Structure 1
Amino acid sequence: MPMQQETADDLIRKIFALQRTLRCVTQHSADIGGPGVALQGVMRMIGEDGELRATELAAKLGVGPAGLSRHVAELEELGYVRRRPHPQDRRAYLISLTELGESVLREALTGRAVLLQEALAAWSEDQAQLASDTLGALSDALFTSIRRAPGAPEPTQETPVSDPQELATK
């Protein structure tokens, strides 16, 4: 049986509420120092792939080339990422984290995890795992649906993002 309109409306409200709450949590964790929330999100995507083309990164983040270029330039200036020419395509370049970038990202993610553990201290491991699994399934289903929409760009080799943190960095 398909989802009822009232359920869909309620789910949308709750997703937006979660997004606002996560934005507050991630902003709090970014206030500790280092790159801001948006740059941490870019770094996380780079870190997941190790090295990727700028166009692939832009597609994963859902941003245009100009926005991505500003983020990458700032991260490069801070010493968190490096760019190198693509060996097979001279028009493109590959982006990866530097050792400093990996360290800063690891520290930021650890800090964020600690904040989440503290905020959800009353939750059992089973509750947290169920929430994680449910959010992952929701993210995957929405991502798949968007990819199948008419006029959607051709799929790339990227994988759907199942982390609710993604909501807060977009």
Structure 2
Amino acid sequence: MRQGTSRAYDPVRVGVLQAVAEAGPLRAGEIAERLGALPASITRHVQTLAEAELVRTAPDPADRRAILVEITDAGRAELQRFLEVGDQVFGAVIADWPAEDVITLTRLLDRLITDWAQAGPTQQQRASKRRSGGFGWSRA
């Protein structure tokens, strides 16, 4: 999915914003689990987003060792702008496609999302067990 896209944005940071917008406040570990990312990576992204005042952090009252991450109004506005631009870009890319191709794409993407939700986590666990050393770029 990332092929052909600009690196003007960081997909993990967008994922953090989206996760806390939809279900926040969340612990950093919960965000990592939702995104399938390393907790240390999420911590760094949360720090960057907090410095930009797009999220705020506070100790978790249930466990003072953990922090809760919550989106700010500025973060919500930034996420909304990002999603709007994404919709505009996607719309421009497929603008000349015949309607039946757009319908087929939508149907296949819906199927992929459903199948990924059902089988993806199990397959990821199996793959990570086979690759016990992880990948160099994925280590904290």
TM-score in terms of structure 2 length: 0.75
Which structure 2 residues correspond to residues 71-90 of structure 1 after superposition, within 5 A?
A: 71-90=45-64
Q: Which has the larger share of strand? A: 2
Matched residue type, 2:96: A
Any idea what the Cα deviations from partners look like across 1:103-132, whole Å, max 9, x if unmatched? 111111101110110111023556434423
Query: 1:61, CA displacement in angstroms?
Result: 1.2
Aligned-residue CA RMSD (Å): 2.5
Task: Quote the residue 1:54 is aligned against.
Answer: 28
Partner of 1:121: 95
* 2:38 partner amino acid: G
Other-structure match for 2:108 = 134
3-state SS in 2 of match to 1:92:
strand
Name the structure 2 match of 1:94.
Answer: 68
Quote the Cα distance in structure 1 between the aligned partners of 2:21 and 2:117.
20
Separation of aligned partners in 1, 2:108 and 2:119: 16
The number of residues matched between the two structures is 126
Deviations 1:70-102 (A, max 9, x none): 100000001111112222222222111111001
Distance in 1 of aligned mates of 2:28 and 2:124: 24
Unaligned runs of 5+ in 2: 127-140
Q: Separation in 2 of the partners of 1:124 and 1:50?
A: 39
The 3 A distance-change label for structure 1 pair 95 and 128 is farther
What TM-score do you get using the length of structure 1 for normalisation?
0.63
Q: Which has the higher contact order (CA 8 A, sep 6+)?
A: 1
**Partner SS for 1:122:** coil
| In structure 2, distance between residues paired with 1:111 and 1:145 | 31
Unaligned runs of 5+ in 1: 1-18, 153-170
Matches within 5 A, 1:63-74: 63-74=37-48
> Structure 1 residues 113, 53: CA separation in 2 closer, same or farther (over 3 Å shift)?
same
- Report the Cα offset of residue 48 of structure 1: 2.2
